[in-house]
Amino acid sequence: MGANLARRYLSAEDNLIGVIGDAGAGKSVLIRGMFPGVELTNDDEGINVRPLPLLHHFETGNFDYHTYHLDMHFEQAFSQPHILAEAVHRALREGCRVIVEHFDLLYPVLELNAHVLVGIGQEVIIARPGLFGPLPDEIKAVVFKSLYHRKMAHSAEDITQLVLEKLGVPPAEGHGDVSDGFILHYRRRPPVDLELVEELVREMIGRDLVINPVGNCKITIGELATPCTGPRLHVRSTGEIKNFRLEKEYLRDSSSGLYSIIGRVGSE
């Protein structure tokens, strides 16, 4: 996704990139996809580059990098926002590109909107602000609110896969998204009744099992462990998943031949 977004929406003149999203939304992963090779100054894997290259080069006056990364949520614990804003302005004047996570925290002191705003919630929003916006807080209001639905859907998806595996269904061959929900793709139609699957998933949800990340590629749901490529993108327990439901018919894509199971959460 990051590579596609960069190819379709970024230009060489876009030097100030504002990224907005709550913790665990996937900002760092998306940045790596949009800007291959960029050095993240800190991320969820414990990377913490000190001194901060942007500030160090600002103090020395030698901007040796073309692209700098700055996480405002992290860096404001160590540096005054106005100092960070001065460093960003100086880097831009030197022709550098600056990628700012939690750009909404920098904007009030920077007094300059990003060339491109990237919001990550249930969906990814790409905006090229003009005279009338959008402003960072407008993007924040959308993505922070919608992220909770994405977490509910992701947790419900992993529970559904656990139930399907217990019923003898092999892992899904592909995954997709639908608003407030998920899609599981199969080459062959799974031989299980979806009403039964829905009932068993709701039973697990009703037990209010704790969901915990285990490393970078696994979670536990209660006592059960299952692979997961986004272990932090979950609600804290299954009881937080509201109004889970499955479409009661398998949907078949005539062009690909795939059979799909569609699940949704939240309001109808």
* pLDDT per position as a tens digit, 32-43: 999 998 888 876
Same-domain check for residues 117 and 174: no
Strand partners of residue 127: 117
Q: Of the candidates 74, 100, 134, which is a domain's last residue?
A: 134
Same-domain check for residues 130 and 151: no
Q: What is the pTM of this model?
A: 0.74
Strand partners of residue 220: 212, 225
Q: What is the domain count for the chain?
A: 2
pLDDT band at residue 123 under the 50/70/90 scheme = confident
Q: Of the candidates 102, 134, 166, which is a domain's last residue?
A: 134
Domain of 152, in residue numbers = 146-264
> Would you say residue 85 lies in a domain?
yes
> Would you say residue 89 lies in a domain?
yes
Alpha-carbon distance of 7 to 30, in angstroms, equals 13
> Would you say residue 141 lies in a domain?
no
Question: Collapsing DSSP states into helix, strand and coil, what is residue 240?
Answer: helix
Task: Say what percent of the chain tops pLDDT 90.
Answer: 63
Greater model confidence, 62 or 25: 62
HSE (side-chain half, CA atoms, 13 Å) at 183: 15
Residue position matching structure tokens 């003149």: 13
